[in-house]
A = this chain, B = another copy of it.
Amino acid sequence: MRVMGVDPGLTRCGLGAVDGRPGAPLTLVAVGVVRTGADEELGARLVGIEAGIERWLDDVRPDAVAVERVFSQHNVRTVMGTAQAAGIAVLCAARRGLPVALHTPSEVKAAITGSGTADKKQIGAMVTRLLRLSEMPKPADAADALALAICHVWRGGAQHRLAAALAKARGKDLKP
């Protein structure tokens, strides 16, 4: 299963793809960031993020996309842009009919390090070890995107099936 992780942001949107399945070694496919300028208008930045993610989806051809779930408790100054970049990642994946999962930062940390409160350095170290890389992927947004993808390989499949079943059950309850 090939998963592309997205650590959303307007200034740096981290992207990382891995091949893997639960219980087997993981392989790095690609890692990087899409950047947009803080002096650009919001519209131009969102168009840049969309174009970057589309290019990645064309190149990487993932089976699923994992996006960090953004909370409004985050840095208030940047949270709206982060939410909008995340929305565009979800939109791009959904337009292609790809399954999309949202994982919270603490779900990712717990999956990768065993602790929901691990710091960025610990995440980077575990991503480097799990993918048998010679050095830590940089910047941190790129490492975080790989952590999201690994988290999804390990827990995403089951979570996605659960969410679909819950949505179906909710739909049944709501309809007469």
Give the B-binding residues of A (Cβ under 8 A). 39-44, 46-47, 50, 70-72, 76, 79-80, 83-88, 90-91, 93-95, 100, 102, 163, 167, 170-171, 174
Contact = CB atoms under 8 A, between A and B. Distances in A.
Given A83-B80, A83-B84, A84-B84, A93 B167 contact: no
Main secondary structure of the interface of A (DSSP, over half): helix
Contacts of A88: 87-88, 91
A13 to B, nearest CB: 13
B46 A94 contact: yes
Nearest to A65: B43
A46 B94 CA distance: 8
A43 B83 contact: no
